[in-house]
Amino acid sequence: MAVFPPPKRLLLGPGPSEVPPRVLAAMAQPLVGHLDPAFIALMEETKRLLRSVFETENTLTLPISGTGSAGLEACIVNLVEPGDEVVIGVNGVFGTRLVEVATRAGATVVQAEAPWGEIVPEDVLAAAIARARRPKLVVLVHAETSTGVWQPLEDASRRAHAAGALFVVDCVTSLGGCPVGVDRLEIDAAYSGTQKCLSCPPGLSPITFGPRALAALRARTRPVQSWYLDLGMIERYWGEERVYHHTAPISMNYALYEALRLVVEEGLEARFRRHRLNHEALVAGLEALGLTMAVAPARRLWMLNSVRIPDAVDDVAVRRTLLDVEGIEIGGGLGPLKGRTWRIGLMGESSRRANVTRLLDALERTLPRHGLTLPAGAGVAAAERVYAQADAR
């Protein structure tokens, strides 16, 4: 096998999402050096485009070389010094991961906990902030990929700043799919990933630091724990000095630049409407098939749909049939939701009308093989009614 032949899949899981042809073509372009003037020009344009998508004027906005988890760790290790208190919302895998990273960085962590599948309530977060003596950070996951929950941020931002803390947000699954509004919400630091709603291959983590976070970085009393993720050093490469830090992944930066161009060409508001419409059509179709959603309507993500698995249905067997027979990937639940939910991603390029109806049609063929009786054609018909109503508006 001279070249790996990837099977043809429709990626409707929790990530990666489908990648547009223009982005794949960008990755195939010839390399230049990581200090080549042409690449430096691309770096500057990428920063400008990222500011637009984050909805911020923050100067320190750039892609970290690494997946979204690298962005998570970069935010923590650059802002936390041993002994700092950090308040973290925990209602899924990624809140749990934040606790682990902050603990390793030497922080004293105060957890604001909620059941998986629910938001972290305002009063629970307020109580956690009150338990901390002098919290340096308050951290929330905006779009919890493990559960499909959309966490509100407005009140949390206000409470964090009232306590003298920086407000840090995980936007890995939300950036480019729903409003993030870094400046509007006074988010001090945020990070994301390329493989979700930006529809770029995994490998970079967009990050943005506002003035307060930048001041905290400058005021550190000891070196950042991670040399590789030290933003003070990375900033010197991405800023005007162009001091070598590490060899940037050239092709991935080509891809991100093209993916961001596609986001801006579509327009954020239009992109948000597309994600919402396809989510609503999918939910209508799933409910018409007798399936139920795992998250309350007001808290559901448009990009990651968590569906309850019916009793006596084999989670793994259904997903394997969808993959092998229909060529469609969806995700299973994690943690306490393992075997209890399916996670259906409608992110970026994957969030298309044709993909919604294809999945519903495939489920109508697949689920009866696994013991469910379904009304023939009901799922697709319900989704099409949602689209027809949108077309009539």
Q: Are residues 204 and 218 in the same domain?
A: yes
Residue 4 lies in a domain: no
**pLDDT class of 354 with cuts at 50, 70, 90:** very high
Asked whether residue 2 carries a pLDDT value surpassing 90, the answer given is: no
Residue 36 lies in a domain: yes
- Give φ, ψ of 7 to 5 degrees: -70, 155
When divided into structural domains, the chain yields a total of: 2
DSSP 20: -
What is the average pLDDT across 67-87? 98
Q: Are residues 261 and 302 in the same domain?
A: no
DSSP 164: T
d(C-alpha 139, C-alpha 229), whole Å: 19
Q: Are residues 140 and 170 in the same domain?
A: yes
Contacts of 12 (CB under 8 A, 6+ apart): 328, 329, 330, 344, 345, 346, 350, 355, 359
Give the pLDDT confidence score for residue 62 in this predicted structure.
Answer: 98
Asked whether residue 373 carries a pLDDT value surpassing 90, the answer given is: no
d(C-alpha 178, C-alpha 301), whole Å: 9
Domain boundary among 215, 244, 265: 265
Q: Are residues 118 and 90 in the same domain?
A: yes
Q: What is the mean pLDDT of the chain?
A: 97
* CA dist 352 → 91, 177, 199, 284, 326 (Å): 29, 13, 12, 15, 17
Which residues sit opposite 11 in a β-bridge? 329
The pLDDT tens digits of the residues spanning 123-155 come to: 999 999 999 999 999 999 999 999 999 999 999
Residue 11 lies in a domain: no
Q: What percent of the chain has pLDDT over 90?
A: 96
Residue 295 lies in a domain: yes
**pLDDT class of 393 with cuts at 50, 70, 90:** confident
| 342: nearest Cα among 171, 96, 197, 146 | 146
The pLDDT tens digits of the residues spanning 44-58 come to: 999 999 999 999 999
Two tokens, residue 321: 């049939």
Residue 331 lies in a domain: yes
Give the pLDDT confidence score for residue 312 in this predicted structure.
Answer: 86
| 341: nearest Cα among 68, 11, 93 | 93
Q: Are residues 360 and 377 in the same domain?
A: yes
CB 346 within 8 A of CB 356: yes
Residue 13 lies in a domain: no
CATH number at residue 302: 3.90.1150.10
Asked whether residue 162 carries a pLDDT value surpassing 70, the answer given is: yes
Residue 248 lies in a domain: yes
* Exposed / middle / buried, residue 128 (Cβ in 10 Å: 0-12, 13-18, 19+): buried
Radius of gyration, alpha carbons of the chain: 21
Asked whether residue 1 carries a pLDDT value surpassing 70, the answer given is: no
Asked whether residue 27 carries a pLDDT value surpassing 90, the answer given is: yes
Domain boundary among 265, 291, 315: 265
- Give φ, ψ of 304 to 5 degrees: -135, 110
Pairing type for strands 189-191 and 166-170 reads: parallel
Q: Are residues 388 and 330 in the same domain?
A: yes
Q: Are residues 368 and 229 in the same domain?
A: no
Q: Are residues 253 and 272 in the same domain?
A: no
Two tokens, residue 330: 């969806």
Residue 25 lies in a domain: yes
Q: Are residues 193 and 244 in the same domain?
A: yes
* CA dist 25 → 20, 205, 382 (Å): 9, 20, 36
Pairing type for strands 304-308 and 341-345 reads: antiparallel
Q: Are residues 202 and 239 in the same domain?
A: yes
The pLDDT tens digits of the residues spanning 274-313 come to: 999 999 999 999 999 999 999 999 999 999 999 999 998 9
- Domain residue limits at 312: 267-392
d(C-alpha 356, C-alpha 279), whole Å: 8
Domain boundary among 238, 265, 292: 265
CATH number at residue 117: 3.40.640.10
Q: Are residues 255 and 312 in the same domain?
A: no
Q: Are residues 244 and 106 in the same domain?
A: yes
* CA dist 157 → 60, 191, 327, 375, 390 (Å): 20, 16, 42, 46, 34
